[in-house]
Structure 1
């Protein structure tokens, strides 16, 4: 708990628990909650104020070294990471990594099935993306296993778990899928929007639909003739076709984008009725009445899981939103590596 002076929350560990959580964090097996608990104690150490770290972290020692982009810590006892023993770790803004000295970058990369970030621009960095989760309006939160060589530690390899933000475009391209911002010739807009909003499409088609609706009314595409667009008082973008479009068998005269999700706006306060029809459980993550359920989960041909969450939510008096949120993830360690177990 926080003390009377408002200090940050402290989490209590035994020495053995601290080693276990650290190992799990480096191997991308730690939950969000466990990583927060670890970070709360580790950062005071790397910033030279061990007195603010909880027990047993005051026994962890900062190591002075020339690389300003990372902080090095020597542990009181060794840990074993991916089968390799080390007593030193590196703490970076987006990663906690083990410093391994008795294995090459090529060998650890082969062991963990990593690939070079770029064979020409960054051959010294290898990675394997483990999971992607929606984050914000435009991209994903990415968890990756990463290994690299750095000049400040010759003969050593840094290996660990990196957490960073990546755009949707970047992630689709990493999967070998070239995203488009317009519907291909011959695509029926009405049928495609119905498929996307009822969770019958995939992450790539959802991406294209979002951009096509955004840009279509401003383009010369005859399929968007008569469409209008604007922004409401709360900053949400909206679009109206010249005639209603059938989405899930219901006429829709207006589409709205909240966050990264495109919705059909329906007349009436009908979110509970839609939830009953589609068997959607209640969702308490928003202020308004909402129901969210995984409509379908498929393993794509490239091995990625594509989760589709069907949504029915109250919008404003007399209006209900219906749509589908598409998530991509590839979970290699644990069932849900980025779940919060608090």
Structure 2
């Protein structure tokens, strides 16, 4: 498999995006090009910049029929993990920033989110249901080590006995195994760990600041040992690049202690499509046409089809064959099962200082 190390932006070493393409709301375009001058020194690498947002509300609602939850929380905007395939990249356009390199380097932290969450959960009209975290950007990306927004949110959910489902590629989640383990044993928490490939070279190219695949498998072991059920997520499946690894990923996940599995086919909404094409042509020039050809087969001849019921899996012979392979592998490995619903009957706002205690 031929792979190139070329990057369109000379300062973007260690990042997945090849450029800083403007978002769909911008009136100006920006392009990196060689102006003919030979620099004696290379440009310094792009550094991560973090701004702080004080949110007025943190629980986001959705009505999508493709996903099994109606509310979520995003502790961060943008993601330093920098996965080139990330479907959340277009959300950076709403901030007036590029879904390209800006998404990976100009981040927004929400360290006050836990206080706002506490207030929202205490509303008399609030009714508990599973809160999903990590379904947009990763709550355990590197800046969580400093800002601890996710840890604080978990502490609130734990105090309220509120159910939570977490999705991540970040091994920093092991720090919170104390909370997630106890909540898991109570039927209040579960975690999905995404492993896209077992090949460290492909992983470093696609998701440059994500812990190595082997390291993520150890995270499954540690969360399971703590008492939190873990689902191995083969997502996204990149056709003609990682799809052949599905059975091996599932086997390693089961060995690590995962109790269930899921998959999502690669999807390239809005600005993700040109960014991904730019990346795959630079990193894997020998198979770029094959990869994109297969992607278009899955989505009716387009890079992406947003239609409900199809966008997560694609359609056609390749999608059907992959789904069949996945079903056979998960059945053989004991991963083909639906986990019981997380509990909502334990929900109870904890007393605050000065509150009158109930006699019952």
Say yes or no: TM over 0.5.
no
Higher relative contact order (CA 8 A, sep 6+): 2
**If the length of structure 2 is used for normalisation, what is the TM-score?**
0.27
More strand by share: 1
**If the length of structure 1 is used for normalisation, what is the TM-score?**
0.28
